[in-house]
Amino acid sequence: MRYKNILFDLDGTLTDSSEGIIKCVLHTYEKMGVTPPAEELLTTFIGPPLSDSFARCGIKEENIREAIDIYRQRYNTVGKFENKPYPGIIELLQKLRNQGCKLYVATSKPEGPASEILDHFDMAKYFDEIAGATVSAKREKKEDVIQYLLDKISPADSDEGLAETVMIGDTSYDVIGASKFNIPCIAVTWGFGDLEDMKQNGAIAIVETMDELHNLITGT
């Protein structure tokens, strides 16, 4: 087995959350009376912390907290379930668990909704830990979430254990966050990130299928 500790991003990696997130973003701009971002920018809200995305897309700094609150009012009741697992991902998780891998989630989404989504799709049972952001934004960036997760699981408490750890994600946030801990990142093409950006930031590989991902994780 090449890697034994597998850290998965959630949005764009395990599930296609685009419908719910985009509807919540548009709802937020409508409620605030602000012109929404261009259509091609809407998917850039998937993955990064909300505060970064709203700041990048026209919300003034003093209004970002209000925007996040409006977004979450819809997301936490409706949007989180406007979502679906990617084809083949559940079978991949089953296979990796059966082969002795320990699976984890490291997401910039608040931990509560992340767990609820995975429970809703009967996926939570495959993960040893689900680590997410805090609603207060005290823990929000991907590197903060990974640090929180590593503190909980202490992968073998050794360099050898960390060497058997890999991040799976779909954006440069995953690649950069993992690199802070010298954890390699495999980028997937079915999400929402820029593949060239992920390459430039040090993704060790880019995979297009679940079989490719399985083979790279297991070294088969």
pLDDT value for 47? 79
Domains of the chain: 5-16+83-218 (3.40.50.1000), 18-81 (1.10.150.240)
DSSP the chain: ---SEEEE-SBTTTEE-HHHHHHHHHHHHHHHT-PPPPGGGGGGGSSS-HHHHHHHTT--GGGHHHHHHHHHHHHTTTGGGS-EEPTTHHHHHHHHHHTT-EEEEEEEEEHHHHHHHHHHTT-GGG-SEEEEE-TTSSS-SHHHHHHHHHHHH-GGGSHHHHHTEEEEESSHHHHHHHHTTT--EEEETTSSS-HHHHHHTT-SEEESSHHHHHHHHHT-
Please give the chain's pLDDT, 220 residues, in tens: 699 999 999 999 999 999 999 999 999 999 999 999 999 999 999 878 899 999 999 999 999 999 999 999 999 999 999 999 999 999 999 999 999 999 999 999 999 999 999 999 999 999 999 999 998 878 878 999 999 999 988 765 445 567 899 999 999 999 999 999 999 999 999 999 899 999 999 999 999 999 999 999 999 8
pLDDT value for 49? 85
- Would residue 9 show up in a list of annotated catalytic residues for this protein? yes
